[in-house]
Amino acid sequence: MATLELNTENFQQTINDNATVIVDFWAPWCAPCRGFAPTFEAVSEKQPEIVFAKVNTEEQQEIAGAFNIRSIPTLMIFRDQIIIYSEAGALPGPAFEQLIEQAMALDMDTVRAEIAGQQGVA
């Protein structure tokens, strides 16, 4: 599946309409971002059931600001509209694939219960 470019018009709908979305926050001037791009693309080809998307932080400053992106590249994984992973830094292919396996193995009912418990405490 081709990588989707996200912007303010399609970001929320993409997150809401797909079970799993992996977002790469990047910028054209960022050497680590450019280095990670082929890995992101290659892994996306192996995972057709997951939406792989990119946010150009230079062009989409509103989205980057909303998610408090301070370093790029930053990877963010959404499952069922919940952010389950967010970390800056490029990953080598095998580590990225392992991260996806772990994300897909999460029991989202347990995640939702943990969130509800934390909100009850707050």
Active site residues: 30, 33
DSSP 93-120: HHHHHHHHHHHHHS-HHHHHHHHHHHHH
Q: Burial of 94 by CB count in 10 Å (0-12 exposed, 13-18 middle, 19+ buried)? A: exposed
> CA-to-CA distance for 14 and 21, rounded, in angstroms?
8
* 54, 24 Cβ separation under 8 angstroms: yes
Q: How far, rounded to the nearest angstrom, does the alpha carbon of residue 118 sit from its chain's CA centroid?
A: 23
* 22, 75 Cβ separation under 8 angstroms: yes
